[in-house]
Amino acid sequence: MQTDVEGKSVAARPLATPEPQHGRYMISIRDLDLFYGDFKALEDINVDVEHNRITAFIGPSGCGKSSVLRSINRLNDLVKGARVEGQVFLDGEDIYGHGYDVVELRKRVGMVFQRPNPFPKSIYDNVAYGPRIFGVRDRAELDQVVEESLVRAALWDEVKGKLKQSAIALSGGQQQRLCIARVLAVEPEGILLDEPCAALDPIATQRIEDLLQELKKTYTIVIVTHNMQQAARLSDYTAFFMIENQGDPGRIVEFGPTNTIFTTPEDERTERYITGRFG
């Protein structure tokens, strides 16, 4: 018997639920394989991402955590030779299905990257970028979106007096929160974060973590992290990724509520990883 984050006991969930359950889960990944050319990078990935929860992907470097993240908003489409088999459901609809609107998908599920990557534009223009590409022209409306997004990203107080200044002049932590604000500005439902604190100092990291805890009230969050303490502190569910041997595809060894993964993992490899014996 396992317990979920609210302490209610739930039936132990098998890794591969045959039918995706809608309603509770925003994203359901089913039997996902990912190829880069001939190389099989991921095999048999099954994950359910619950609404308004933080789901963490942990595991050693190069085991495909980021690739899974990128396949959730189809950023792998940009990689030449990348090919996906299996399904990724967003609210019950297969995002790899024929004729699925990728633009709409990426609007609904935004991405924050490892290195803060604000555009070399003003703070204002960075946040207004998304609304503008989706056709918002009205100045007052843009002003409002920019302010709201910056407030939600806990950056407003630090930048409200200098919205016209270049985003490049901000500190790394501020830049990363700006990138989060930029994603929030298009009113997504989910936010994917690919090691968002890897380039940040502990204090900036702390601020991002606080922010994510706040954001999960409104958004569904998936975060890739190298930092196991971060996953333990932050997330409600954790998926542990691993590659068995060099050249093998990455797989999910174990997926479940974070406290279970970190206290009583079922798989010996998970235990060895979280206790720091490898990886």
Partner 1 sequence: MTRRDAAAVAKPALNSEWIVRKTLFVFAMTTVLGIILVIFFVARESIPALRQVGWSNIFLSATWNPNVSNPATGHYGLLVPLAGTLAATLGGIIIGGPLAIGTAIFLTQIAPPRTGKLVVRGIELLAGIPSVIFGWIGLVVLVPMLARVTNTQGYGILAASFILGIMIIPTVTTIAKDALETVPEEYKQASFGMGATRWQTIYKVILPSAKEGLLVALILGIGRAIGETMAVQLVIGNARQFPNSLTSVTSTLTSRIVTDMGESTGAFRSALFVQGLVLLIMAMVIILLIRLVTRKTVKAA
Q: List residues near partner 1 by CB under 8 A.
A: 73, 75, 78, 102-107, 110-111, 113, 115, 117-121, 129-130, 132-134, 166, 168, 179, 182-183, 186
Cα→Cα distances 61→67, 77, 136, Å: 12, 22, 40
> Least Å distance between CB 197 and partner 1?
16
Q: Which is nearer to partner 1, 115 or 162 (CB)?
A: 115
Minimum CB–partner distance for residue 24 and partner 1 (Å): 26
In the bound state with partner 1, the residue whose beta carbon lies nearer, of 115 and 160, is 115
For 138-164, letters b (16+ CB in 10 Å) and e give eeeebeebbbbbbebbbbbebbeeebe
Does an H or E element contain 28, and which? strand 25-36
Place of tokens 């604190």: 197
Nearer to partner 1, 108 or 251 (CB): 108
Q: Looking at beta carbons only, is 172 or 279 nearer to partner 1?
A: 172
Rounded least distance, CB 269 to partner 1, Å: 32
Rounded CA-CA distance 158/20 in Å is: 42
CA distance 256 to 240: 9
Q: How far is CA 62 from CA 41, 80, 272, in A?
A: 9, 19, 18
Separation between Cα atoms, residue 240 and residue 220, nearest integer Å: 19
Distance in Å, CB of 106 to partner 1, minimum: 4
Please state the closest distance from residue 119 (CB atom) to partner 1, in A: 6
Choice between 76 and 270, CB closer to partner 1: 76
Taking the complex as a whole, how short is the minimal distance between the CB of residue 98 and partner 1, in angstroms?
A: 19
Taking the C-alpha atoms of residue 212 and residue 199, their distance in angstroms, rounded to an integer, is 17
Pairing relationship of beta strands 237-242 and 251-257 according to DSSP bridges: antiparallel
Choose between 106 and 216: whose C-beta lies nearer to partner 1. Answer: 106
For partner 1, the closer of residues 22 and 115 by Cβ is 115
Report the alpha-carbon distance of residue 100 to residue 118 in Å, rounded.
28
Dihedral sign from CA coordinates of 195, 196, 200, 205? negative
CB of 195 to partner 1, least distance (A): 13
Nearest residue (CB) to partner 1, 155 versus 179: 179
Contact by Cβ (8 Å): 119, 129: yes
Q: With the C-alpha atoms ordered 117, 187, 72, 200, is the resulting torsion angle positive or negative?
A: positive
- Provide, rounded to whole angstroms, the least separation between the CB of residue 104 and partner 1: 7
